[in-house]
Amino acid sequence: MINRGLLFGVLAYFLWGLLPLFWKSLQDVPAFQILCHRMVWSLVCVWFFLIFRKQGSWIGRLQKAPGTVLLFMATSVILAVNWGTYIWAVNHNHIIESSLGYFINPLMNVLLGVFILKEKMRRWQWIAVCVAALGVLYLTVEYGRLPWIALILATSFACYGLLRKIAPLGALEGFSLETVLLFIPSLGLILFFEFSGTGAFSHAPITLKGLLILSGPATALPLLLFSAAARRIRLSTVGILQYIAPTLQFLIGVWIYAEPFSRSRLIGFLFIWIALIIYTVDGWRFFHVRRNSMQIR
């Protein structure tokens, strides 16, 4: 029998991996306007789901927890930076570099855990981080600049994950609050663009209008699948599944959109992939050793 949690997880990361195809279909729309529409239609989609599931009781508790709202204002800004950078990168032919950011992300999470949460790193985790750093250094020399798109995506998503780790709301409720906080400025900007004559929505053909509306479900559906998966499967399994998305993004950039990927860039990516193999194997071994020791007790 198929493990439903595993199926949900694979589907979530598979859909995230295919997002470059969706954003490319909107490349005639300025990235900033796509971002605004993504925020607005995400709210519509998520809140429809909350109403359907009758999961609105947590809203009343926010009146007694202003700190929670402030925390989610911070996560909303970080999320907007991450989304905006990614959309811009995809539509300016930087899909491969974007995938690098999400390959680096797990290692960035480790570093934030050490420096912010004062967690201790195991020896092989340090080795993985050092190998990845060599890869970033090599790519910096190869690009002639820092791979800033990858670093912004990795850092912003790691910071987002850190803040969500300490946030009191669950994945769906927290994302719902984030979309509420992003909705008003996003809707205001959309109306400004439309009334100034530069808005994409009113001047777009019906198919493009439909795609802008679908940016909401395209954002919310993978998140809902991921939330369902995270409750049903082990964290170590989620850690392995997360590589599905950047792998698909990388393949889309190379094979479908033929972005330049020289042998020297391949060497830089190999450093990152080797680091991820070290990190994943170490995490897998640590999980099983700890589980066996608990069973013995």
pLDDT tens string, the chain, 297 residues long: the values are 457 878 888 999 999 999 999 999 999 999 999 999 999 999 988 888 777 766 666 666 676 677 888 999 999 999 999 999 999 999 999 999 999 999 998 888 888 888 887 878 888 889 998 999 999 999 888 878 889 999 999 999 989 988 888 888 777 788 888 998 999 999 999 999 999 988 988 888 999 999 999 999 999 898 888 877 866 776 667 777 888 999 999 999 999 999 998 888 899 999 999 999 998 888 778 766 666 665 555
What integer pLDDT is reported at residue 295 of this predicted model?
A: 56
Question: Could you give phi then psi for residue 26, rounded to 5 degrees?
Answer: -110, 20
- pLDDT for the residue 288: 67
Distance in angstroms (rounded) separating the CA atoms of residues 129 and 104: 9
For 231, residues 6+ apart whose C-beta sits below 8 A from its C-beta are 5
CA distance 122 to 280: 12
What tokens does 2 get? 């198929």
* Lookup result for tokens 């295919």: 18
Helix axes of 123-143 and 263-296: crossing angle, nearest 10 degrees: 170
Integer Cα distance of 154 and 6 in angstroms: 25
| C-beta of residue 221 within 8 angstroms of C-beta of residue 166 | no
Report field, pTM of the whole predicted structure over 0.85: yes
The pLDDT value recorded for residue 182 is 92
Amino acid 292: pLDDT: 64
Question: What is the Cβ-side half-sphere exposure of residue 38, based on CA atoms within 13 angstroms?
Answer: 25
Report CA torsion sign: 170, 175, 176, 180: positive
Task: Classify residue 93 as left (phi > 0), alpha (psi -120 to 50) or beta.
Answer: left
